[in-house]
Amino acid sequence: MALSESTTDELLVETKGNIALLTLNRPERLNAISSQMLQELSKKMIEADEDPDIRCVILTGSGRGFCAGLDLVEVGQGGIGSGAGGSNRPKQLFSIRNAPITVMWNMDTPVVCALNGAAAGYGMDIALLCDIRISAESGKMAAVTAKRNVVPESGGTWLLPRLIGWAKASELYYRGRVVGAAECLEIGLVNTVVPDDKLMETAWEWATDIAENAPLAVQTTKRMMRMGLEQSYDTSVDQLMVHLNGMFKSDDFQEGVSAFLERRKPKFTGR
């Protein structure tokens, strides 16, 4: 089952085998996120996570930027997050249950970020929410919220200290630093840096490696890693054993053992 077509040209959707490619597509605005793009990104991430045929998602941007964050022009005009008539006055409690940042955090399907340029504000947060970040040499992270009198509202203050430590996260946020690809690799913000013309080739290669593994094992590992951030060691291990007992009864476990004994590449079905 392939993902449905996007309802907006601002988000491009492509599927190849068990991999979905989502491309933020407002290159003239460095892929600043509009309300339409925001809604469509959530919808497609949910579709991908619920589709048993999709085993990995690649997220990237078109043009020379990954994502410049929320469209501040639209925000200023009362677009994103505002009520009817362009009023910025809240009429009810806000909800982020269907926002990309919440959807991406709760996904069990792995997401690979192909960082093709600058990621700033909301764009930096969704890059951090990806499980793996592959950066082009032109990629960069812009922790510049303090220069706009806003905060990393989309999970950044929770994610960044856990990824690179409190002191380094403080340095980036408090100073409003823009960090190039080489330094991102040095401090652990990205997994690898490749030439610009090798970015998508590398992203597809890594996504293919993921997609060829047993999907239940990959997705359960991701879920247990996520839940383990808030659990005790004993609780986490206990839950892992429950999942493992179920996996022993699966077709894919039998296939994995058979492939190992027969010295061949396994062909997993997700069952």
Percent of the chain with pLDDT over 70: 90
Is the model's pLDDT at 129 over the cut of 60? yes
CA distance 192 to 54: 24
Torsion on CA atoms 261, 265, 266, 268, rounded to nearest 10: 180
Once rounded to an integer, what is the mean pLDDT over residues 249-266?
94
Residue 74 scores a pLDDT above 50: yes
**Model confidence pTM above 0.95:** no
- The helix (run of H) or strand (run of E) holding residue 218 is helix 215-228
Neighbouring CB atoms inside 10 A of 104's CB total: 25
Give the separation between CA 165 and CA 156, rounded to whole angstroms.
13
Q: How far apart are CA 137 and CA 182, in angstroms?
A: 7
- Read off the pLDDT band of 114 (50, 70, 90): very high
pLDDT above 90 covers a percentage of the chain that reads 80
Q: Where are the domains of the chain?
A: 11-211, 215-261
CB atoms under 10 Å from CB of 145, counted, come to 21
The CATH number of the domain covering residues in 11-211: 3.90.226.10
Query: Which residues on adjacent β-strands are paired with residue 111?
Result: 57
Average the pLDDT over 244-253 and give the result: 92
